[in-house]
């Protein structure tokens, strides 16, 4: 426990009086005071849990608690008391067993985002509900050829996904490379956002924010506000970056350092790709090499215009456009030049479905409807319908390659996510891709169109696709798919 700050003590002490004297107004003032984060602490890494002899067995307890967020105690939700939860490190061919313990006051469950594993039974089955006070034993078997990369876990109980993630329930999964890449340091950087009130409680989110997709006032890396770390010049670091924000897009830059992308979402590029910036939609991950140069560099998140709701003026309502972006973490490079490391081993490029026979073509239409439902919310639909757990929207024959046209008829971006089976981007707003680009979350721009191809190999079973602005998912922008 950290001692309560003077400011917090004042707020706590003053709340009763303000509440009585000023009534509701006093309460609202106290509850909406700015979060005042502690910045500049040393970057902390979530605890690693590594598989041995082809097995990783972990217990994940989802529970409320006093958890350090932005350097202060917050009443949040965590896995095993931390935000993020432990980092799970596995290899292709491993079995991952997770005992999920639900000590929340509401149902939850677990999803292993991006892993190519079975969605059936006690696998990556998002239709399971784990009730408060109960446990569930998940078991995932990674195929022998599972792509290496950065993945993550989070709850997937329809209706509360955004709230549970916003409150702190997420963690990293790393599938290690078959041939290790030599690096001086590896860092896991889980980026999340949330809003705390003056008492350190996670703030409730109004309906309007949910429809737009909530963006928290604090952008955190491993639960910290602009943490710092150091390196020597000429070092090669590997950063595993996860966008665990409910709705915020991250356009990232790290000026002054050399960046090479090893891959995005799952798999590796055949050669590392030099980049200046990268866009991570909610759910996306980057596997990045940073070759260091003397100086101070901040990893900055810049504004991405993701449009607005129909009938609304302006854009990115509560996303202030700061020309310098927001510093997420700061790297200081000084000292003696490090000895060069061995070249990055080449990898067999990803599969390419451009010349595959297409067994079926489908239209997936993402829409934000003007008709308000009974809840007073705008309707967020896929092919005109809101999610219904008992309905299967898409039935696919196992073994087929399909082409899906993702059409966004709304004036805001939607990041489209398909579970279990990654998507190859074939065409984006009329432009064909010349190289094989794979993602498990694909941004479909406002009023835009993206064509993807999916190889429904290996696994059968029922799973889901949805918008990874998780407020939209909770509001119904999700469909069920069955491969049989």
439 touches Cu ion by CB under 5 A: no
Reported as type and span, the H/E element at residue 51 is none
For ligand C2O, the closer of residues 219 and 481 by Cβ is: 481
Q: Which does 116 bind (CB under 5 to 8 A by kind): ligand C2O, Cu ion, none?
A: none
Residue 324 CB, shortest distance to ligand C2O, in Å, is 30
Token reading at 174: 């790393």
466 touches Cu ion by CB under 5 A: no
Contacts 24+ apart (CB under 8 A), 340-348: 340/234, 341/182, 341/183, 341/184, 341/236, 342/182, 344/181, 344/260, 344/262, 344/271, 344/272, 344/289, 345/179, 345/181, 346/270, 346/271, 347/177, 347/179, 347/268, 347/269, 347/270, 348/270
The rounded distance, in Å, linking the Cα atoms of 310 and 90 is 43
Q: How many residues does the chain have?
A: 484
For ligand C2O, the closer of residues 464 and 483 by Cβ is: 464
Binding site for ligand C2O (CB under 6 A): 111, 113, 154, 156, 283, 417, 419, 464, 466, 468
The rounded distance, in Å, linking the Cα atoms of 202 and 76 is 6
Q: 105 to 124, contacts with Cu ion by CB under 5 A?
A: 113
Query: Which residues, including other chains, have CB under 8 Å from residue 35's CB and lie 6 or more apart?
Result: 70, 195, 196, 198, 217, 218
In the complex, residue closest to ligand C2O by CB: 113
For ligand C2O, the closer of residues 297 and 443 by Cβ is: 443
Burial of 5 (0-12, 13-18, 19+ CB in 10 A): middle
The rounded distance, in Å, linking the Cα atoms of 281 and 264 is 11
Phi, psi angle pair for 138, to nearest 5°: -90, 150
469 touches Cu ion by CB under 5 A: yes
**How big is the site for Cu ion, counted in residues (CB under 5 A)?**
6
Residue 360 CB, shortest distance to ligand C2O, in Å, is 22
Instruction: Classify strands 277-280 and 285-291 as parallel, antiparallel or unpaired.
Output: unpaired
240 touches Cu ion by CB under 5 A: no
Q: Which does 379 bind (CB under 5 to 8 A by kind): ligand C2O, Cu ion, none?
A: none
For Cu ion, the closer of residues 428 and 440 by Cβ is: 440
Side-chain-facing half-sphere of 166: CA atoms under 13 Å: 26
467 touches Cu ion by CB under 5 A: yes
Q: Which does 466 bind (CB under 5 to 8 A by kind): Cu ion, ligand C2O, none?
A: ligand C2O
Q: Which does 472 bind (CB under 5 to 8 A by kind): ligand C2O, Cu ion, none?
A: Cu ion
Q: Which does 439 bind (CB under 5 to 8 A by kind): Cu ion, ligand C2O, none?
A: none
414 touches Cu ion by CB under 5 A: yes
Token reading at 60: 């994940």
Instruction: Classify strands 185-194 and 236-243 as parallel, antiparallel or unpaired.
Output: parallel
Residue 315 CB, shortest distance to ligand C2O, in Å, is 25
472 touches Cu ion by CB under 5 A: yes
- What DSSP state is assigned to residue 200? S
For ligand C2O, the closer of residues 111 and 248 by Cβ is: 111
For ligand C2O, the closer of residues 169 and 426 by Cβ is: 169
Q: Which does 414 bind (CB under 5 to 8 A by kind): Cu ion, ligand C2O, none?
A: Cu ion
Residue 114 CB, shortest distance to ligand C2O, in Å, is 8
For Cu ion, the closer of residues 62 and 469 by Cβ is: 469
Q: Which residues bind Cu ion (CB under 5 A)?
A: 113, 414, 419, 467, 469, 472
């Amino acid at each position: 426990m950290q001692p309560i700050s003077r400011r917090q003590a004042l707020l706590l002490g003053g709340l009763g009086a303000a509440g009585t004297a000023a009534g509701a107004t006093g309460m609202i003032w106290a509850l909406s005071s700015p979060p005042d984060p502690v910045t500049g602490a040393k970057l902390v890494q979530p605890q690693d849990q590594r598989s041995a002899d082809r097995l990783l067995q972990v217990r994940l307890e989802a529970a409320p608690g006093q958890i350090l967020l932005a350097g202060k105690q917050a009443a949040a939700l965590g896995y095993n008391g931390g935000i993020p939860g432990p980092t799970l490190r596995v290899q292709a061919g491993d079995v991952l067993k997770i005992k999920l313990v639900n000590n929340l006051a509401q149902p939850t469950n677990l999803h292993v985002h991006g892993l190519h594993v079975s969605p059936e039974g006690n696998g990556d089955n998002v239709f399971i509900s784990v009730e408060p006070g109960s446990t569930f034993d998940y078991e995932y078997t990674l195929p022998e050829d599972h792509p290496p990369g950065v993945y993550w876990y989070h709850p997937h109980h329809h209706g509360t996904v955004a709230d549970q993630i916003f409150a702190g329930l997420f963690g990293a999964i790393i599938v290690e490379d078959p041939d290790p890449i030599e690096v001086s340091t590896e860092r896991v950087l889980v980026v999340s956002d949330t809003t705390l009130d003056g008492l350190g409680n996670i703030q409730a989110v109004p309906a309007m924010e949910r429809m737009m997709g909530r963006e928290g006032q604090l952008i955190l890396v491993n639960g910290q506000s602009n943490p710092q770390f150091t390196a020597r010049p000429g070092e090669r670091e590997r950063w595993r970056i996860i966008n665990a924000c409910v709705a915020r897009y991250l356009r990232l830059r790290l000026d002054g350092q050399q960046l090479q992308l090893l891959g995005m979402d799952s798999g590796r590029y055949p050669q590392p790709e030099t980049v200046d910036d990268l866009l991570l939609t909610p759910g996306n991950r980057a596997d990045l090499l940073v070759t260091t140069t003397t100086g101070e560099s901040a990893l900055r998140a810049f504004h991405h215009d993701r449009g607005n709701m129909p009938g609304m003026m302006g854009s990115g309502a509560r996303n202030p456009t700061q020309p310098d972006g927001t510093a997420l973490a700061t790297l200081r490079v000084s000292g003696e030049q490090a000895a060069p490391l061995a070249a990055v081993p080449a990898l067999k490029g990803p599969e390419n479905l451009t010349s595959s026979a297409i067994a079926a073509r489908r239209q997936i239409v993402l829409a934000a409807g003007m008709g308000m439902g009974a809840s007073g919310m705008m309707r967020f639909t896929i092919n005109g319908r809101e999610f219904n757990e008992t309905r299967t929207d898409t039935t696919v024959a196992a073994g087929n390659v399909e082409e899906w046209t993702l059409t966004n008829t709304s004036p805001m971006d939607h990041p489209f996510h398909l579970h279990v089976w990654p998507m190859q981007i074939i065409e984006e707003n009329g432009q064909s891709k010349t190289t094989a680009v794979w993602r498990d979350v694909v941004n479909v721009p406002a009023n835009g169109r993206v064509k993807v191809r999916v190889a429904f190999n290996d696994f059968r079973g029922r799973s889901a696709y949805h918008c990874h602005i998780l407020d939209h998912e909770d509001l119904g922008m999700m469909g069920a798919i069955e491969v049989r």
